[in-house]
Amino acid sequence: MVTSSLMKDMTSRTDVYRANAIRVLCQITDGTLLGQIERYLKQAIVDKNPVVASAALVSGIHILQVIFVIILLLIIQMFILVSAHIHQQEYMFTCFLL
């Protein structure tokens, strides 16, 4: 029930709700739920709002310990982000790779 509420917040128009939902959902999730939130994370990484994109990138760091395959898919989206030349998000991407 909590995860469905957080997934609903990930599609909210309010950026603060989306960023917080991403952070919390990635902290409480296990490997089985990551497949369901993968699409939302990919969308959040390339989001125009830096708060949402940063939350998705930092959450990707935490997810790295849980599952490796989804991270590879997220890295593809991060390369798209870096090609857009958004400096704050480029910095977060560099931290993610380290």
- Per-residue pLDDT of 1-46, as tens digits, reads 677 888 888 888 888 889 898 888 888 877 677 777 788 888 888 8
What's the predicted TM-score (pTM) here? 0.64
Largest Cα separation within the chain, whole Å, is 38
Number of domains the chain is built from: 1
Q: What is the pLDDT of residue 88?
A: 66
Residues 75-87: tens digit of each pLDDT: 777 777 767 666 6
Contacts of the segment 63-67: beta carbons below 8 A, 24+ positions apart: 63/26, 63/29, 63/34, 66/29, 66/30, 66/31, 66/34, 67/31, 67/34
Q: In which domain, by residue range, is 48 found?
A: 2-97
Q: Which residue has the higher pLDDT, 96 or 11?
A: 11
**Which single residue is written with the structure tokens 């296990």?**
30
pLDDT of residue 40: 84
